[in-house]
Amino acid sequence: MSCRILIENPAPFKQALRSSGGPLVDIPIDEGVEVARFYIEAGIPFAGFHHSDIDWYEARQMRGESPPQRYDSFEYADYVKEKLDDFTGILIPHRVIVYQTPDVQAKAFRRLAKQGIRDIVLVGRPFDEPPAGAAYRTTVEEMLSYLARELPELNLGVVVIPDREGEIERLVNKFEAAGKKKLHLIGQFLDSADPMLSFMDALASEFQRKGLDVAKLEWNIGLAMFTLKSCTFHAKLLRKDHLACEDRFSGLENVEARVEESIRMNLQFAERIKEKAERLSLDVGFSIQPIIERNRNGSMHASLSGAVNLVKQLQHLYA
């Protein structure tokens, strides 16, 4: 079983705080490319970058205020490709697709494919009912079916949230909507391996029961750097009140100690997941998610070096 590693490299926010109590400062898109270049120059083997796309309404609800906006993930992926023309790995932008009909969105997908970026993850609705001022005009299943028919050259993917009720049935529906072709699965980062291991068992069992080819799922499970002293922010990203792993980080007063503990914890998760994936014949890799990429002054955050070290140790695990 090979070790496939992706690194999360989201499009940067257009504005950010660069000092305590100071104003928002305009941020160039190149800041994200500098982070990508950091990983490349570290000389670590990885398959590529994936570029997350945050749902504006969900982010607003989590923060209780209007969040800073990111650069468009499609435009960012295209920009990374242009600036890092010697990079041979894949680029996988995400796209929130629920607010427009498939035909309206098709032009952007065609343009990206023409630029040679053909791996795309579709992101669905964040709430059962659309938030005030918004309307859902399509679903991930409808978009998968449309793109599989109209742009068969694309390699499509979806987000997987194992803790969400009915997630296996959702995934079966998405796989069938995509024409039962290879499907990228991008998973949330883990705060415990146990729910993921149970989900993997149930997923393999359901695919077998329905006569579907589980080998066509290319799953990349998230491993994150828990770098903040308070775990509240990380828990919110997982839609939880608290993390299952909070006790591991209790009393760790500096960022470096929390990065080291994150690496130890994620390696333990990865070893258990690797064993389970091999037993179930699941194609599983890992998505390394630093979560925080910049210090307030704009310098690179310690989580980036932690991500590099985690990649190196994952390679040893698979050697």
Could you tell me the pLDDT band of residue 131, with boundaries at 50, 70 and 90?
Answer: confident
The pLDDT score that the predictor gives to residue 236 is 87
Residue 184 has pLDDT above 60, yes or no: yes
Count up the domains in the chain and report the number.
1
Residue 67 has pLDDT above 70, yes or no: no
What is the tens place of the pLDDT at every residue in 252-286? Answer: 999 999 999 999 999 999 999 999 999 999 999 99
The pLDDT score that the predictor gives to residue 19 is 83
The pLDDT score that the predictor gives to residue 318 is 86
The pLDDT score that the predictor gives to residue 196 is 95
Residue 66 has pLDDT above 70, yes or no: no
Q: How far apart are the first and last CA of the chain?
A: 10
Identify the weakest region by mean pLDDT among 8-22, 35-49, 243-257: 8-22
pTM: 0.93
Residue 187 has pLDDT above 60, yes or no: yes
Residues 6+ apart with CB under 8 A from 230: none
Residue-number span of the structural domain to which 122 is assigned:
5-318
Q: What is the mean pLDDT of residues 208-229?
A: 95
Residue 199 has pLDDT above 90, yes or no: yes
What is the tens place of the pLDDT at every residue in 22-49? Answer: 888 999 999 999 999 999 999 999 999 9
The pLDDT score that the predictor gives to residue 216 is 95
Under 8 Å between Cβ of 109 and 94: no
> Domain with 307 in it: what CATH number?
3.20.20.220
